[in-house]
Chains A and B, each alone.
Chain A
Amino acid sequence: MTLSVLLVAAAVALVSLEPATAIRSVRGFVASGAQCLACILAFSALPWIALFLALRRGAPLDAPLAGAYAGAAAFLFAAAAVRIACPIDEGLHLLTWHTLPIAMGAAFSAIAGARWLGRWQRALDRREVP
């Protein structure tokens, strides 16, 4: 956990070292960013589903935390892939459209984890002792 946080912090710090260029047009900033966001979502979808299903076959004791890890893992790899593919190296673009989706993906996945990864515990709780 600590290592993961440190590495993400290092990536964010490194991204912020990229040149900060003034935004010439908000529309262009959002349009190019939306493409990156869509790519990150596309790149992360299948790995997230695969990892989530793998976790669902197990029995995570802390379902939201396991879900958050799964989301962070899928979105971190997707962000790496988009960093390789995206031709824009501006710091603000990278922080807004490449790094923020990682946090949002982890948060979404934590909610999904709370909803679907803890079902085995709830099923056990519902079982009544005769």
Chain B
Amino acid sequence: MPTPPSHERLVAQLLADARPVRPLWSPHTRLAVWLVLQALTLGFAVEFGLRQDLGAHLRQPLFLLEVGALIAAGATAAAVALRAAVPGPAADGQ
């Protein structure tokens, strides 16, 4: 089936406007960089937080579960967001 002339004109116009682009880092790499930034944030909170009894709290399973669930959910949401910005099944490579 021949390509409609309007499609060919659109492709020609897109090619005429095309500029070199820098390839995106893979979602995994961008997630790793973002998680490093977040680790620094958490480290800042541990170092400069107002809680005097943090050592005792870090031995409580409920407290660890709360913080762990928040961090795990945040990391999952970031991974899904970065993956959603690169459509297509072979997104991991680009």
A11-B66, A62-B84, A85-B45 known; A73 vs B75 contact (CB < 8 Å):
yes
Residue total for B at the interface (Cβ-Cβ under 8 A): 43
A70-B78, A73-B78, A87-B52 known; A11 vs B85 contact (CB < 8 Å):
no
Main secondary structure on A side of the interface with B: helix
- Cβ contact within 8 Å between A70 and B67: no
Q: Which of A18, A43, A61, A84 has the most CB of B within 10 A?
A: A84
Q: How many angstroms between the C-alpha atoms of A52 and B17 in the bound complex?
A: 26
Query: Does B6 sit within 8 A of A, measured CB to CB?
Result: yes
- Cβ contact within 8 Å between B67 and A3: no
Q: Which parts of A1-49 form the interface with B (CB within 8 Å)?
A: 1, 3-4, 7-8, 10-11, 14-15, 17-18, 43, 46-47
Q: How many angstroms between the C-alpha atoms of A60 and B82 in the bound complex?
A: 9
User: With a CB–CB cut-off of 8 A, which chain A residues contact B45?
Assistant: 43, 81-82, 84-85
User: With a CB–CB cut-off of 8 A, which chain B residues contact A70?
Assistant: 77-78, 81
Listed in ascending order, the chain A residues whose CB lies under 8 Å from chain B are 1, 3-4, 7-8, 10-11, 14-15, 17-18, 43, 46-47, 50-51, 54-55, 57-62, 65-66, 69-70, 72-87, 117, 127, 129-130
